[in-house]
Structure 1
């Protein structure tokens, strides 16, 4: 048997089946109501949602369907929880702050009542979530439930066939119970103006074959089909533009009502299609009420054709409603037959137990690992909020910024004018530079000495009497912040860890001489040779003596240059010509000659500067060229 009908499986096969679902079992939902077969439209009726409550007549049943209790149970079942009784519902209403109406009048469908029911649903949902333990990562669900039969047979059945309240672990017992009793389904499809509907028998009861005529002798009995179409209907209306897609209603909602003749026809087609489907459902109302499942394939807007309208046969929260768990094509009678076959035929595969075990291990290995529980991190330290400055503080900061800019760039004349106007207000020349300026030095003298501006340093020392003994601030490690003193100073470098002064920050000899000159001219102003770390004073006589030494040094250099030039000139003078002996072979002056002259020529240019050597070499080559021209002229 290559195909198995899910409602007529062999007993031998059922006894050997075991569930194949390993993980990712969905949570149980409320059980689907059992269909109530009604033989007449005037008999007793029951609500399949509200625990089978019965009604005397149709009017009472319709009034119940409009009540808040029924609508609450419908939404509760859609969320996977059990419906409540009318007494429990009253207690829930009493505990809710918002009052909702329990009347069965037409006003019960108002927006206020819907909002109250939604609020009650939200409240109960939050409570159930807070009581439920934390779950692991949500795993993907498949549309099929698989069963295994040793040694190598697997059956797959769509989960939508089972009752919605049955847990996945109970699918096997549910499957065994599906093998008895007659069952009918209602199947509807609508798309693009096409409609197809059918009432089908998917399982025959024992009474279905009792009224058949007795077979003649020696005539083979025809096998009964697994499924049978009891009623079917298809029709089509013009609702969509050719090669455009989308219904006219959707286009009107998005862009407004079109005024073309085609648009009017499509609107009429949509209305006619809706009326035809609802009239057909009304005609099949008795059969639909007796169906076990109601399968509907429709888009969001087309679903309103079947449910959620006055005097509708199929209620919005009906537990029998299902959607096709696989893709479908254009609604036709043949497509309904294909979908019926797909739903009622079990999928088969043939894998050994070893192959199934390997498949399970691969699946478990592919599951995402649970994320580690985040540990509450220590609160980050709050960033200091920027202090709002007053107008006076902003002006003061602006003045300090201008002052430091003029000192660091050596702009002496603007600095003098600014200091005459603002010097006293800023605290004098020896005041410490504020930390909020970002300057690493402490005084203006240190800034000027480090920048290397001689005139600004001299003005600060001579005119403003800036203090040269203030220490340079040390870094965190105990070392000075400024270690780039530039040229080598004539003062000894301070040992590590000791303080430095403005003199130590000077990068050039000229700036350091200003400190020494001021120390020699005004020795009583500061402790120049101690706290100021100036190595020695520089008097006018010392400067003259240093200049004299420079002149002597320059004169000696000039004399050496003159001696070198004289030696080079002597080396360039031509040597006396010596006539060769008769027996000696005279060298052809036009023949090849060695570049660079005689071998002793290198001794004549020894000790010369590169410029003099190049000059001598050019003279030699010129004389050699002149000699060759004279020989050719003879």
Structure 2
């Protein structure tokens, strides 16, 4: 290949490729180890696609078997023979090709056919033996190759599929003489339908040479975090010759033609918290704040807006070749997949094969350009061949792994324990009760393994130790657990409670269940308390805590004042007391008016009267 011929990025739009680039594309097929393999059959027939007036055939020689042919039909017939297929499979495994005589000798050496067929072959003539035997070997090539590989101590990969889909990426690769040998063109597999995936190069030719006069279209939808963006995009692109780049929008994005587009933005996500309100309700229960109510309303409004838009775009959706959807969860995805118009065109529904940003119109343009332009990528490197492992070592390894799996496999009791504790710790009492009823698990079920749960052998022990006050009440009052069961150290669930609120939950359960429910002395639960008594105790505790808090605050403030007073006195020093010098100094009254002089005299007399009163 040569890379002397240049091209522009705008020339790589897959629905409008220049003829020189389109004719240069050659589909690459890979084996399971990412090694290039010649295709068995050509993908494009000359009767369907006109390539050029004087095409140059690349099939005058079979590079795998080392044979040359005069006609293209001979090469095609050869590629269907067992001899060629056998050499292709050898090349996949890194072995050299064999000639026809060596191939026939290998078949004779490793033949394993039925006794009646072998006896018939022995009775035939010497000249026809090879031909009849060769005709029956197409079903035995894998066995023959397995034996040959074992004899050469080379590991045989079980996946021998040769396909252009074995790229281990989201793209299909094509060779081109416009690229160096180290690079290839890539097209996303998501652009092809199931039928088109088997003949991708033919599909690309049909996209660029459509027989239908209608304009093909696709739909793009993104929804995340209360933001929605949707568009109906035409496969034709606008003429942007002479345009300049506008901000962050390049020429390829300017060429995108949106027949329809719409965005919605609703406040549905808790700021700086993450996650939608519906997800938060499912995880932690329904909140009753004003913000949560607003977010629930906006989620419902967003669903309504999207459904109305899809109904409005129904004529477009039925004709879309592709419908790309980006949604973070199944709830958001069902907004589209359960729509009648999209359901009727279900085969066209796909996901974006790359990461997308916040749903906006500019992001839809960028994503469409990412989808529909040829990508220059580096050729994938072949995977290293693994060396063969002796059969004895393989058996030992498999046996050891099976023993390890048996050791690490969880028993049914351990599975019940894991699931029930998950519901218990999250406070999901309805799910816990439903699980126990479904699997017929007793409320006093002993958690497994016993070595791990020796201190907390029951769910009631776990709830008491973990401080799950609400679950303690439900386990005792609703599920009727036995509070007298002991752990390995002889302690009941009451003894493991560290919080006073959890202990009061036990006392409330004793009050509700009555003294006849069980032997409460064995359970070590204190005297029963009604809900009113518990509320009174909690109120007294709250008042006592408030009083202690106020006293502590007052003491702290008093200490701070004393400290400040001491610091001020230390800064000022001893000092001396001033006599009533200020009173002996006669103010200058000449500058004052008569009214001001009378007011000043009144003030002085009042101060003197106050001084006399303080002395008395």
* TM-score, structure 1 as length reference: 0.35
Which structure has the larger Rg over C-alpha atoms? 1
